[in-house]
Amino acid sequence: MRRLFSSPKRASEGWHSPKEKSYKFGGLRRTKSSKIVQEDIEPTLTASYWDDLPVEIQISIFMECGVHDFLSLKLVCRGFCEVLAVHELAIAQRYLRRRRHGTLPSTTNHERTYTMNPEDDVVLLSDLFPPAKSAKGGYLYTFRYLHTLRRRQDVCARLSYYLANRVMDNFFDSHQSLVKSRFPSKSDRDLMFERGTAQLQFRLIPLTYCVAYFLETYASARKEHLNHLLREYEAGRLPVPIPLHVRRDMFIKLQTNILRSPPFTDTPTLIATHHCMYLLIICLLRTLPIPHGHGDRVDPHWIGGLLTVSGFGRIVEYFSAEIGDGVQTRTQRRDFMINFERDMDLNAREEMHPCVYLPPPSGQPHHSSVQEVWLDAAGRELSSRPVIPHDSERFTIWDGIPIFIGCGQCQEPDGWMAF
């Protein structure tokens, strides 16, 4: 809504001679004495219909807007800015209630279970990442929190697309005769590839939420553990630096504590997340060049650093640069390497404290191996429940064609295993 302005002609303005009229331009007039005088026009402000609406209706209108619209709406007019600033808590709560079927985010508990339905995506995501607690009590429902949820949702959707694309590409390469017999024309094969990728992406998105939750929680736990060890060192209760094998056991214990807390207390959720993490690691390993000799082997430890240090956004950036879905692939890869190296340097300065952790024999910063990120801890937890062997995740891509995504502890599937 915008306010209307009127600029009626002043009654005090009398008749002007033709010569005087010829000098008038843009609200200025030149008198006979050649003196320029600005015309004194005072716009009359008229009220808009927006000002007459009750606050409850205004909040209901803003509740229907998108997350990225709130900042732009603040710049429209002063009335919008005031409503969005004063009633930010109410708008954010109603926005979430609308998309969570009448509920608000809560910490995950042992009784809550989640489905893979698309309408439950926001429920799972906001429960895994609830708003921060306020010092005055309650939670901070803000537009920033909504934007953070949307950003995580977009990142997980992109990662799911890249994983689904890799699965379909591998399926087409290993089943060329089947694909060509079922879909003779190239247009049909392209359509099957596109729809299969969309089906896999749709099913993988909720699983990537749990993977993102684990990686972010694990990174926070490592920082808290380092701060605890620094306090112990300052108090004189840490006489010698911790060696590498003890540090590895500490990190495995941190991961085990996460896996024994919600949402992973639900065994089907733990198994499904394990399969998604296994798929992610396999896809990352398959991007490495095939070694032709001992000197050509690539150290896969950088993948452990990518998972534990850089975060989900950098993983998506890597897949985007590796698959070349941008305009300038070389620029994308260069930017990724610069950003990833910056992440590693920052982690080496902050986390690899020489007074707490004993430096590795090589003198280089040590990063967890691929096996030390989730796989070891999850394998032990699955054995303790016990749920080994277990079923794979079954996805139907087209006309009843199944694709199974699992791990090394799965039962033999009645269909094609993704990797």
pLDDT category, 278, cuts 50, 70, 90? very high
The Cβ of residue 315 has, within 10 Å, a number of other Cβ atoms equal to 24
Question: Contact, 200 vs 397, CB < 8 A?
Answer: yes
Domain boundary among 111, 126, 144: 144
The Cβ of residue 244 has, within 10 Å, a number of other Cβ atoms equal to 13
| Spatial distance between the Cα atoms of 400 and 117, rounded to a whole number of angstroms | 20
Answer yes or no: do 67 and 212 share one domain: no
**Is 33 part of any domain?**
no
**Is 22 part of any domain?**
no
87-127 confidence digits (pLDDT tens): 999 999 999 998 888 888 876 555 666 766 666 788 899 99
**Is 5 part of any domain?**
no
**Is 17 part of any domain?**
no
**Is 29 part of any domain?**
no
Nearest to 410 by CA among 387, 386, 391: 391
- Number of domains the chain contains: 2
Answer yes or no: do 140 and 206 share one domain: no
Nearest to 115 by CA among 129, 104, 101: 101
Range of the domain at 116: 49-144
Answer yes or no: do 200 and 323 share one domain: yes
369-392 confidence digits (pLDDT tens): 889 999 999 999 999 998 999 999
Answer yes or no: do 71 and 170 share one domain: no
DSSP secondary structure code for residue 45 in this structure: E
For residue 232, is pLDDT > 80? yes
Answer yes or no: do 83 and 161 share one domain: no
**Is 165 part of any domain?**
yes
Answer yes or no: do 133 and 164 share one domain: no
Question: Contact, 402 vs 394, CB < 8 A?
Answer: yes
Answer yes or no: do 401 and 265 share one domain: yes
**Is 360 part of any domain?**
yes
| Spatial distance between the Cα atoms of 136 and 92, rounded to a whole number of angstroms | 18
Answer yes or no: do 86 and 175 share one domain: no
Q: What is the pLDDT of residue 45?
A: 41
**Is 265 part of any domain?**
yes
Answer yes or no: do 183 and 320 share one domain: yes
Answer yes or no: do 83 and 230 share one domain: no
- Retrieve residue 115's tokens: 């489905």
DSSP 60-102: HHHHTS-TTHHHHHHTT-HHHHHHHHHTHHHHHHHHHHHHTTS
Answer yes or no: do 129 and 171 share one domain: no
Answer yes or no: do 132 and 229 share one domain: no
Domain boundary among 144, 165, 187: 144
Nearest to 74 by CA among 64, 62, 90, 92: 62
